Amino acid sequence: MSVYRHIVVLTGAGISAESGLATFRGADGLWNNRPVEEVATIEAFERNPAYVHDFYNELKPEVFKARPNPAHLALAKLQKEYPGHVCLITQNVDTLHEKAGSIDVCHIHGRIDQAVCLNCGQIMEATGDIDTQTACPHCQVAGMMKPNIVFFGENLLDMDNVERQLHQCDLFLSIGTSGIVFPAAGFVQTAKYVGAETYEFNLEPTSNNFYFDHHIMGPAGTTIPQFVDKLLQAATERKS
């Protein structure tokens, strides 16, 4: 196992599965009983904001109840103890990485505990329900609040930072994502292009698996702690 200067980690819904949160495209998929077109597209929000607000308001209690699992905890440990830089990018709108102790988590698809005012642009905490009548606490305008979640057809958040991180990385780990949604599914190509070693952690090979040097199959709650221990072990041996 080498020692790396700059590790970039991309996580998807699969890393939160063992915390009891549904993934999007699995058998218990979040989208299964609600066509994604009705919920997570900017057109759906413009057409029927009340329906989209209801969907996310209903989702909040179970997301906030969930606890980080060993995969989240191992990544937080890696960030704390690894001698190189560890950048954590997530497609997930839950905050289980933060609850596990991770810092500077890059939420490219937003966060379910936040809302954004479409009138003044202010992003704020929103752990309670928001709806079409909610007034913005910043500009007081009502009816312009939106979950701070990136819907299909919207640009991702923090992409300048993501591009910078990817262009510096020498190790890229993709954990619990089906590799279907772009541009996140293309991050591994950038990592490959700059010469990084690439690992995919999943229960099964994904549509993206051609770009990965290594495939570690199994539940992330098992495979990630094992892999993090190997990375830390190699760094310790290098030091001694």
> Which residues lie near ligand BV8 (CB under 6 A)?
12-14, 17-18, 23-26, 40, 91-93, 109, 149-156, 176-178, 180-183, 201-204, 206, 219-220
- Nearest distance from residue 3's CB to ligand BV8, in Å? 25
Q: Which is nearer to ligand BV8, 6 or 45 (CB)?
A: 45
> Shortest approach of ligand BV8 to residue 76 CB, angstroms?
17
* Nearest-approach distance from CB 158 to ligand BV8, in angstroms: 13
Q: Which residue of this chain has its Cβ atom nearest to ligand BV8 in the complex? A: 14
Estimate to the nearest angstrom the gap between the alpha carbon of 10 and the chain centroid: 7
Closest listed residue to residue 107, CA positions, set 148, 49, 152, 61? 148
Q: Which is nearer to ligand BV8, 59 or 235 (CB)?
A: 59
**Closer by beta carbon to ligand BV8, 160 or else 204:** 204
Catalytic site includes residue 167: no
Q: Are 229 and 235 in contact (CB under 8 A)?
A: no
Catalytic residue among 53, 97, 109, 138: 109
Say how far apart CA 193 and CA 186 lie, in whole Å.
11
Cβ-based neighbours of 210, under 8 Å, separated by 6 or more: none
Q: How far apart are CA 102 and CA 176, in angstroms?
A: 17
Asked whether the bond before 49 is cis by omega within 30 degrees of 0, the reply is: no
Which residues form the catalytic set?
Answer: 109
